């Protein structure tokens, strides 16, 4: 599915009409179409019909549920891509938009994912009253909010770092803005974007239960899907069903990996900007198959032609990158005034909304809960670092191991915390443990892997000369860690720790409250605060909780992680 | 005959961060006639690449006029194509797709695009590489793609921004010869060429006319016609004579602020002059070379350059720094060591450091200034930003950074002061 036009030797393949790959490719595409049709049929149902056929724990239903869930994920991914291409592009191209959109994105990223769901579900349900479609919208939106922000950030950063000489070449040869976007900017941004899509997908899975088994105040909808299946299994204390759910998830994630992400990664590899012939480029049998079949060639040709047609059709607005000169001060002034007014208005609305149903003591309560969660996050990150940094270095220095560990960690990152509820809750009850402490590990369950990912990546970039020098000078033990390993991975570790920290805050909403059947456990913390408010449908406290949590995340990022990251970057970057 | 390109009184300024403007190009007048290869020769910072960007419409001049075939250039003009120093190929497009890009932008029909691209690839000797990606190609092959991509749009003027400087010597020579062959056989669909270079021999080899630029601000200080017939030979006495003539022009003409004042015999250059980042190893290296046989203290710059395989941009900053430190004098294309220079070449390491320290603090005002500030302060420390801010009144932030970096390296070698990069602080103490 590369969009550049096929090499001139297309005709060669066309003479052999039926090859093995052609048949497989055709089957794959047809299968995908049937799957789309099957899975989207349920969307037209009414809510009453949905309630008439509740989710059941019969494992034979799981393929159908899995299909529905993965389709939802796919839809959310498409929406996220659309958002990425528009929002990030706007921010990168317009200086005025940038000053507003980028901080906004920063804040959106820190808002807990389930917070979005709690406050928007009623709106989405009202879009298609009485239909399943509305609830589907809400679920897709929730997944979207777990996927979109980091993708948009990555795309924005790529657009801002497009190599100057290529930008000049495209201007010199008179490429229109539209053509430049598809020929230069999107390809350049593709490799990091694909990586972020994979991370986003894991994020989506982690919250799959919460986004499908929607329960906000009086609104309860259970959409058929793996998430709802897990929720029901936990409610009914059915360990066998939990096992089936894990198996189904594993298979779906594997299929996603093989059919969607592997090909994407392999395909995106030729957009890498580094010109050196890389070490063993990633392979994907699906991509190879598509490339070798006439169907793939046909699709590729059509896409290429459509793109070139659009270059002619889209009017040539002269795009000289970021227009700075013509900007008049008056428009600037008007724009900033408008932005400030809207911000002030929004602040006033939020303030009145919260203060209408919230007292000072509520605020104190929320902030105190936030402090508890903060302590938990920091301790967990420290513990996870102590475990995963050595493991990550060990793996990263062994290229063979890294290839095996990567997909395993990817799967574990997608593993929803809910699936561990049975074990954790039973253990806490049986051993009479303190839930304030022993529920905490659930928070970092999905996010600790980012530390591992990044440390592995960092350790594998350590130049072999440096390692050899270490061996040659017989640098060993703690000295080796202090002078060679830790500095080399420091910038990478920071990236991982920042992601893990943000993710843990997000996860606190599902992790500080756990249940198994009718045993409910709760740890004190801001996540539990929001979860409780959501269950009660108390919108004032939901919003208050969200605001406080965003505040915490932003302040911690600005005051702690970012300076630390910049320090590591400056001091330890191998260039 | 109407010139292809007519440039009159062009100026270019960059805004300085603290307000005010920095003059990069001043009063540039030049004409390109049909059938001519015009060379722009000068040092880094002489604004010749900037001029090329003005001509290509990638940047706008602050004053003066640029007319292409009688029409003012206001943006990227069809009919002017550029070959980039770093090739600027799209790594995700094949050779063929890279070449096709410019034609796609013109909105030509698909079969026309294909036909012309294949013809250009054929012409430039890339047959068989159509479906290769740039990363699979050697530097020389990549630059051939750069040429094919520029030629395929059939430009009237081809702009070349140091197109051979990223290539190794042999590859560069092959590419130059191939280009000149095609050009003199009339096979190229172009009417005129502007070549930016800092390689003097390359300019003499390829150009019909050479304009020599001074630096900061860039001005045209000399024009040299080359009437030797093609193919030209480097060992031809007339060729050597032209090279020598250009060296003399570049070393005796005032080029830039501190050179301008130096003509009054070792000037006091202010702290506001841009210093080249030349390592102390290179300084000692050149001193030793000139001091030793067969030069014995006096050498011809072109000869030194060709023995050391150095280009103007490598050699001149070293020689000029030696001149600034009064270890050598430059003039008439020669470099001559002073007594101190000879003493330095003969000395051992400690003695060299002492000598260097005396000359650094004696003749480089910025080093003097740093040392004085450190001496005067009770803490004997000063932040880097203090000096950067001062320098930025005179130069761009990049130049200020480079200048300060140069002084830091020299100061460290001379043990005149210490610098902690972590804290971005100057001090008088070295770790004990």
- If one compares B242 and A343, the residue with the highest pLDDT of the two is B242
Interface mutation vs chain B, best among A167, A168, A173, most B CBs within 10 Å: A173
Tens of pLDDT, residue by residue over B383-409, are 998 898 888 877 778 888 888 999 999
A224: how many CB neighbours lie within 10 A of its CB?
Answer: 23
Residue in A4, A8, A171 closest to B76 by CB = A171
Residues of A with CB under 8 A from a CB of B: 4-5, 7-9, 163, 165-166, 168-176, 179, 183-184, 187, 270-278, 308, 311-312, 318, 320, 571
Number of domains in chain B: 2
B42 within a domain of the structure (yes/no): yes
Q: Are residues B304 and B242 part of one domain?
A: no
B101: closest CA of chain A, how far (Å): 8
- Which of B345, B368, B395 is the C-terminal boundary of a domain? B345
Of B56, B84, B91, the CB nearest to A273: B91
pLDDT value at position A84?
93
CA distance A138 to A136: 5
Contact between chains at B93 and A4 (C-beta distance less than 8 A): yes
Q: Which two tokens stand for residue A294?
A: 């006439």
CA-to-CA distance for A119 and A223, rounded, in angstroms? 18
pLDDT value of residue A85: 93
Residues B129 and B210 in one domain: yes
Residues B78, B210, single domain; the answer is yes
Nearest to B224 by CA among B240, B251, B254, B203: B203
The answer to whether position B98 is within a domain reads yes
Examine the domain organization and report whether B128 and B34 are in the same domain: yes
User: Residue A70's pLDDT is what?
Assistant: 87
Answer yes or no: do B101 and A175 touch at CB < 8 A.
yes
Number of H helices, E strands in chain A: 30, 4
By Cβ distance, the residue of B82, B96, B105 closest to A175 is B105
| Model pLDDT, residue A574 | 65
Q: What is the pLDDT of residues A254-268, one digit of tens each?
A: 888 888 888 888 888
Contact flag A183-B90 (C-beta cutoff 8 Å):
yes
User: Percentage of chain B surpassing pLDDT 70?
Assistant: 93
In a domain, B402, yes or no: no
Residue B381: strand pairing partners = B427
pLDDT at position A246, please?
A: 87
Do residue B209 and residue B338 come from a single domain? no
Quote the CA–CA distance of A198 and B200 in Å, as a whole number: 53
* Position with higher pLDDT, A516 vs B290: B290
| pLDDT at position A575 | 59
Domain termination site, one of B252, B268, B289? B252
Token readout for A64 is 């159908």
Here the CATH number for the domain that contains residue B327 is 1.10.10.10
Name which of B50, B90, B93 to mutate to probe chain A: the one with the most chain A Cβ atoms within 10 A of its Cβ.
B90
Which domain covers residue B134, as residue numbers?
5-252
Task: Tell me what pLDDT residue A17 has.
Answer: 54
**CA distances (Å), B148 to each of B97, B141, B154, B342, in order?**
11, 10, 10, 51
* Cβ-based contacts under 8 A for chains A and B: 86
Per DSSP bridges, beta strands B418-420 and B425-427 are antiparallel
B137: how many CB neighbours lie within 10 A of its CB?
19
The label of the residue with tokens 């095609």 reads: B182
B345, B365, B392 — which closes off a domain? B345
- Which chain B residues contact residue A311 at CB under 8 A? 104-105, 107
Whether B158 shows a pLDDT value over 90: the answer reads yes
Between B394 and B103, the higher pLDDT residue: B103
Which residues make beta-bridge pairs with A440?
A: none
- Whether B138 contacts chain A with CB within 8 A: no
Beta carbons of A271 and B91 less than 8 Å apart? yes
Q: Do B78 and A174 touch (CB under 8 A)?
A: yes
Contact A165 B75 (CB under 8 A): no
Tell me the nearest-neighbour CA distance from B272 into chain A, angstroms: 29
B157 and B36 belong to one structural domain:
yes
Residue A3 has what pLDDT? 33
Q: What is the pLDDT of residues B291-319, one digit of tens each?
A: 988 888 888 888 888 787 777 677 888 88
Number of other residues whose CB lies within 10 A of the CB of residue A365: 18
User: What CATH number does residue B121 fall under?
Assistant: 3.40.50.300
Answer whether B81 sits within 8 Å of A172, measured CB to CB.
Answer: yes
Q: Among residues 112-131 of chain B, which lie with CB inside 8 Å of chain A? A: 114, 130-131
Name every chain A residue with its beta carbon within 8 A of the beta carbon of B132.
none
pTM: 0.79
Q: List, in sequence order, every residue forming a beta bridge with B31; answer none if it has no partner.
A: B6
The answer to the question of residue B273 being in a domain is no
Asked if B78 and A169 come within 8 Å (Cβ–Cβ), the reply is no
Q: B93: which chain A residues are within 8 Å (Cβ-Cβ)?
A: 4, 183
**Does B211 lie in the same domain as B83?**
yes
* B80 to chain A: closest CA residue: A172
Q: Are residues B77 and B155 in the same domain?
A: yes
Own/partner pairs, A351-356, CB within 8 angstroms, 24+ separation: A353/A540, A353/A543, A354/A540, A354/A543, A354/A544, A354/A547, A356/A540
- The answer to whether the beta carbons of residues A196 and A154 sit under 8 Å apart is yes
Contacts of B94 in chain A (CB under 8 A): 4, 7
- Domain for residue B384, yes or no? no
DSSP string of A164-214? HHHHHHHHHTT--HHHHIIIIIHHHHHHHHHHHHHHHHHHHHHTHHHHHEE
Contact present, A551 and A115 (Cβ < 8 Å): no
Domains recognised in chain A with CATH numbers = 10-44+284-314 (no CATH), 46-283 (1.10.3720.10), 359-572 (1.10.3720.10)
User: Helices A62-83 and A20-41 sit at what angle, rounded to 10 degrees?
Assistant: 90
Tell me, yes or no, whether B260 lies in a domain: no
Q: Quick one: B222 and B129 in the same domain?
A: yes
Task: Give A241 to chain B, closest Cα distance, Å.
Answer: 47
The answer on B286 and B246 residing in a single domain is no
**Nearest alpha carbon to residue B299 among B265, B276, B322:** B322
How far away is chain A from the Cα of B136, in angstroms, using its nearest Cα? 6
In which residue are the tokens 């052609």 written? A22
The verdict on residue B82 lying in a domain is: yes
- Write down the pLDDT at residue A322: 44
B230 and B89 share a domain? Answer: yes
Is the CB of A270 less than 8 angstroms away from the CB of B86?
Answer: no
Contact yes or no for A149/A105 (Cβ under 8 A): yes
According to the model, what pLDDT value does residue A349 have? Answer: 83
Q: Are residues B52 and B187 in the same domain?
A: yes
Cross-chain CB nearest to A166 (options B88, B96, B106): B88
Positions of chain A with pLDDT lower than 70, given as ranges: 1-19, 21, 38-44, 217, 274-281, 315-328, 574-575
For residue B103, being part of any structural domain is answered with yes
d(CA B420, CA B430): 9
DSSP code of A271?
G
Identify the bridge partners of residue B212 per DSSP, sorted by sequence position.
Answer: B41, B222
Q: Which residues of B touch A166 (CB under 8 A)?
A: 88, 90
What gap in Å lies between CA B416 and CA A528, rounded to an integer? Answer: 62
First to last CA, chain B: 73
pLDDT, residue B121, reads: 93
Nearest CA in chain B to A163: B88
Query: Could B97 and A8 be called an inter-chain contact, meaning their C-beta atoms sit closer than 8 Å?
Result: no
- Chain-centroid distance of CA A523 in Å reads 26
Q: Which of these, B181, B284, B203, lies nearest to B250 by C-alpha position?
A: B203
């Amino acid at each position: 599915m590369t969009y550049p036009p096929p090499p001139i030797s297309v005709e060669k393949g066309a003479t052999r009409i039926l090859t093995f790959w052609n048949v497989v490719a055709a089957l794959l595409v047809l299968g995908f179409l049937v799957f789309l049709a099957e899975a989207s049929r349920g969307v037209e149902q009414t809510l009453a019909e949905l309630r008439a056929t509740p989710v059941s724990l019969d494992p034979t239903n799981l393929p159908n549920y899995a299909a529905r869930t993965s389709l939802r994920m796919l839809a959310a991914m498409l929406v996220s891509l659309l958002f990425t291409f528009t929002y990030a592009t706007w921010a990168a191209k317009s200086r005025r938009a940038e000053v507003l959109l980028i901080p906004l994105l920063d804040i959106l990223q820190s808002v807990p994912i389930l917070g979005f769901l709690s406050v928007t579900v009623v709106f989405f349900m009202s879009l298609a009253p009485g239909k399943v479609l509305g609830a589907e919208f809400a679920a897709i939106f929730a997944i979207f909010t777990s996927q979109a922000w980091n993708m948009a950030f990555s795309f924005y950063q790529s657009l801002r770092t497009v190599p100057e000489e290529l930008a000049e070449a495209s201007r010199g040869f008179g490429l229109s803005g539209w053509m430049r976007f598809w020929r230069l900017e999107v390809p350049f941004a593709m490799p990091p974007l694909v990586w972020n899509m994979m991370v986003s997908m894991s994020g989506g899975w982690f919250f799959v239960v919460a986004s499908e088994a929607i329960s906000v105040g009086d609104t309860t909808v259970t959409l058929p899907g793996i998430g709802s299946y897990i929720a029901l299994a936990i409610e009914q204390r059915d360990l066998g069903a939990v096992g089936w759910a894990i198996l189904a998830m594993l298979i779906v994630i594997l299929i996603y990996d093989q059919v969607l992400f592997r090909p994407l990664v392999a395909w995106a590899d030729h957009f890498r900007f580094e010109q050196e012939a890389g070490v063993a480029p990633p392979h994907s049998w699906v991509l190879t198959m598509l490339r070798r079949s006439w169907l793939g060639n046909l699709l590729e040709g059509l896409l290429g032609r459509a793109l070139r047609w659009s270059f002619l059709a889209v009017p040539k607005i002269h795009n000289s990158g970021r227009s700075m000169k013509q900007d008049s001060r008056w428009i600037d002034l008007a724009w900033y005034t408008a932005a400030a007014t809207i911000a002030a208005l929004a602040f006033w609305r939020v303030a009145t909304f919260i203060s209408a149903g919230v007292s000072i003591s509520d605020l104190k309560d929320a902030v105190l809960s936030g402090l508890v969660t903060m302590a938990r996050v920091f301790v967990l990150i420290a513990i996870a670092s102590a475990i995963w940094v050595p493991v990550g270095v060990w793996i990263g220095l062994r290229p063979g191991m890294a290839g095996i560990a990567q997909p395993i960690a990817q799967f574990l990152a997608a593993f929803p915390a809910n699936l561990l509820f049975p074990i954790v809750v039973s253990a806490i009850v049986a051993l009479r443990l303190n839930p304030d402490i022993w529920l905490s590990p659930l928070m970092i369950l999905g996010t600790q892997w980012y530390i591992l990912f990044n440390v592995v990546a960092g350790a594998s970039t350590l130049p072999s000369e440096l390692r050899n020098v270490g061996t040659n000078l017989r640098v060993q033990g703690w000295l080796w860690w202090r002078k060679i390993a830790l500095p080399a991975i420091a910038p990478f570790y920071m990236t991982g720790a920042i992601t893990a920290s943000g993710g843990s805050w997000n996860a606190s909403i599902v992790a500080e409250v756990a249940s198994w059947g009718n045993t409910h456990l709760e740890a004190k913390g801001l996540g539990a605060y929001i979860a409780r408010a959501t269950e009660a449908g108390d919108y004032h406290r939901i919003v208050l909780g969200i605001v406080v949590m965003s505040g915490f995340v932003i302040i911690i990022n600005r005051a702690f992680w970012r300076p630390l990251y910049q320090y590591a970057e400056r001091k330890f970057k191998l260039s | 005959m109407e010139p292809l390109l007519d440039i009159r009184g062009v100026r270019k300024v960059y805004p300085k961060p603290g307000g005010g403007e920095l003059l990069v190009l001043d009063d540039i007048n030049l004409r390109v006639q049909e059938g001519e290869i015009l060379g722009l020769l000068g040092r880094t910072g002489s604004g010749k690449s900037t001029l090329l960007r003005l001509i290509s419409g990638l940047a706008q001049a602050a004053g003066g006029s640029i007319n292409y075939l009688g029409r003012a250039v206001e943006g990227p003009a069809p009919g002017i194509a550029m070959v980039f120093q770093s090739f600027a190929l799209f790594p995700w497009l094949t050779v063929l797709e890279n070449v096709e890009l410019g034609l796609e932008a013109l909105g030509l029909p698909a079969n026309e695009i294909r036909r012309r691209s294949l013809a250009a690839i054929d012409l430039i000797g890339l047959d068989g590489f159509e479906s290769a990606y740039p990363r699979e190609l050697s530097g020389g092959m990549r630059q051939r793609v750069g040429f094919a991509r520029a030629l395929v749009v059939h430009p009237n003027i081809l702009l070349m921004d140091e197109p051979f400087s990223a290539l190794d010597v042999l590859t560069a020579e092959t590419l130059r010869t191939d280009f000149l062959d095609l050009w003199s056989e009339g096979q190229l669909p172009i009417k005129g060429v502007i070549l930016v270079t800092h390689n003097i021999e390359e300019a003499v080899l390829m150009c019909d006319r050479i304009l020599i630029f001074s630096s900061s601000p860039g001005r045209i200080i000399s024009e040299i016609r080359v009437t030797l017939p093609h193919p030209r030979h480097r060992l031809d006495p007339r060729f050597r004579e032209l090279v020598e003539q250009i060296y003399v022009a570049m070393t005796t003409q005032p080029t830039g602020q501190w050179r301008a004042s130096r003509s009054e015999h070792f000037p006091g250059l202010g702290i506001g002059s841009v210093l080249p980042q030349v390592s102390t190893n290179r300084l000692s290296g050149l001193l030793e070379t000139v001091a030793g046989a067969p030069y014995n203290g006096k050498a011809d710059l072109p000869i030194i350059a060709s023995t050391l395989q150095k280009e103007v941009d490598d050699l001149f900053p070293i020689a000029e720094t030696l001149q600034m430190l009064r270890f050598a004098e430059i003039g008439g294309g020669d470099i001559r060591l002073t007594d101190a220079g000879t003493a330095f070449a003969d000395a051992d390491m400690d003695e060299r450091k002492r000598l260097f320290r005396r000359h650094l603090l004696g003749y480089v005002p910025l080093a003097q200034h740093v040392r004085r500030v450190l001496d005067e302060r009770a803490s004997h420390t000063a932040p880097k930003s203090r000096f950067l801010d001062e320098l930025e009144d005179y130069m761009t932030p990049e130049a200020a950074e480079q200048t300060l970096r140069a002084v830091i390296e020299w100061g460290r070698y001379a043990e005149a002061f210490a610098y902690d990069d972590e804290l971005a602080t100057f001090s008088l103490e070295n770790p004990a």
